[in-house]
Amino acid sequence: MMGPLVAIIGRDIKLAIRDGAGLGTALGFYMLVVTMLPLGLGPDMKLLSRIAPGMLWIALLLAALLSMSRLFEADQDDGSIELLATGTLPLEVIVAAKAFAHWVTTALPLAVATPVLGLLLNLDLQANGPLLLTMLAGTPAISFLGAIGAALTLKARRGGLLIALLVLPLYIPTLIFGISAISAVLLDTGAFAPSILILSAISLISIVLAPIAAAAALRAQLG
């Protein structure tokens, strides 16, 4: 079981690096949205500082969603999905492996770029560490829940927007607890630990349950 698992994770990471379009688009989108915010809202440093964590989280969610539609579509288009379906790995594990590779190649770089973009929004420097921590804890849920949307819209033309409609509501808990963890640090309410624990729990639940849902959706469309 380990051999094929390592093979598919390695392949997807390699493809993402060689291709570059997925991460490039997501990072570019993330940076542009964050850059436009101060232009749109005006140079009110206090305001920017207050809304920075929320804006960064929302921009990151949308940026990560951009590349989600290609998660299974690329394999569907070139026929690789038939190869994947005849392996010894259950489809659930394949979905999990692909979502993990997406997290490593897209969500993780976005999270790591956040402190730099935080400067543009006058984010309190002491919030950088906790913000990065909440993003590391919360982004697995983005990749794994996104896989459900990607699987459901596999054969839909222009599935990208449909994915956003299907998946964004599922991201709400992640967003709420991500923001509440940061607010706890900025306002010093001491509620950081509970929020980040719930955030981690959401990610862990997504990692377990989302592949089952996505694999069921894929199976229905394989025929």
| Cα R_g (the chain), whole angstroms | 18
Residues that bind another protein (CB under 8 A): 1, 3-4, 6-8, 11, 14-15, 18-19, 77-89, 222-223
CB of 89 to another protein, least distance (A): 8
5/51 with CB nearer another protein = 5
62/85 with CB nearer another protein = 85
40/88 with CB nearer another protein = 88
How many Cα atoms sit within 13 Å of 19 on the Cβ side? 16
**Residue among 199, 196, 209, 222 nearest 147 (CA):** 209
Other Cβ atoms within 10 Å of 172 Cβ, number: 10
Say which amino acid occupies 121: L
According to DSSP, residue 125 is labeled G
CB of 29 to another protein, least distance (A): 22
CB of 5 to another protein, least distance (A): 9
Check residue 190 and give left, alpha or beta (phi > 0: left; psi -120 to 50: alpha): left
12/60 with CB nearer another protein = 12
CB of 92 to another protein, least distance (A): 14
